[in-house]
Amino acid sequence: MYANSRVPHSAQNDIHTQLAALLDRRTGQPFRQPIADYNRRAFAEFVAARERFGAGRGLIVDSCCGTGESSFALAREFPDHFVVGVDQSALRLARGQRLAAPDNVLLLRADLVDFWRLLADAGVRVQRHALFYPNPWPKIGQLARRWHAHAVFPTVLALGGILECRSNWRIYTEEFAFAVERLSGLPARSEPWLPERATTAFERKYLESGHALYRVVVDLEAAPWAPDVPDVPDVPAPGVGA
């Protein structure tokens, strides 16, 4: 499994030529997708767990958490914060739930498009938000499936906090930084990333395969204006990472 991973292959060698226009169309659009009942139930589970820990404590969201390895690492690094790791895969989450978890973490199965919207609708602000190695959707025609080009991305920015995205595909983080800057007005840039130790299974595999890693870190609390937060349209959500 390890040391044999390939860097995402794409005919695209720079920021997608249609990204700016797509982002401009996303801004302020009225969207109509209803929130699924199972995501409402998952959100209620999150609210109850956070209240037990202390709703006034800082919140960290680990999106596309996979097995929750990164969620556990964040929970140990920030023991005074509550960490929720969210992923669509019941199988990956089940592997993580077999492990001993810190007291300040919850692993949750939910569609992030709905979960992010529910956070925003409830007026929840996050202190940190991790997007570690999401599915890059590297084909040129898959732009709209990348999180930073998805219709829900203004909602992600509106949640605030320190947002960090990591990828082994340089173009993904360059596009992510471009989207953050265009929608929020904040300067953002992609930078090389070499962790002292891996935080996720994907990060470990990529390091052992000799990949260059990249990340974007931006403090959304410094945004000069709050992005519009539309409802989310009936479009497919991107795949999740580990």
Q: Name the burial class of residue 107, with classes exposed (0-12), middle (13-18) and buried (19+) by CB atoms within 10 angstroms of its CB.
A: buried
State the DSSP string of 138-151. Answer: -SGGGGGGSGGGST
Q: Are 182 and 52 in contact (CB under 8 A)?
A: no
Tens digit of each residue's pLDDT (9 = 90 or more) over 74-100: 999 999 999 999 999 998 888 877 777
Q: Collapsing DSSP states into helix, strand and coil, what is residue 135?
A: coil
Tens digit of each residue's pLDDT (9 = 90 or more) over 161-218: 999 999 999 999 999 999 999 999 999 999 999 998 899 989 999 999 999 999 999 9
Torsion, CA 163, CA 166, CA 172, CA 176, rounded to 10? 10
pTM of the model: 0.89
Tens digit of each residue's pLDDT (9 = 90 or more) over 124-137: 999 999 999 999 99
- Dihedral pair phi/psi, residue 214, rounded to 5°: -140, 155
State the DSSP string of 13-65. Answer: -SS-TTHHHHHHHHTT----PPPPHHHHHHHHHHHHHHHHH-TTS-EEEEET-
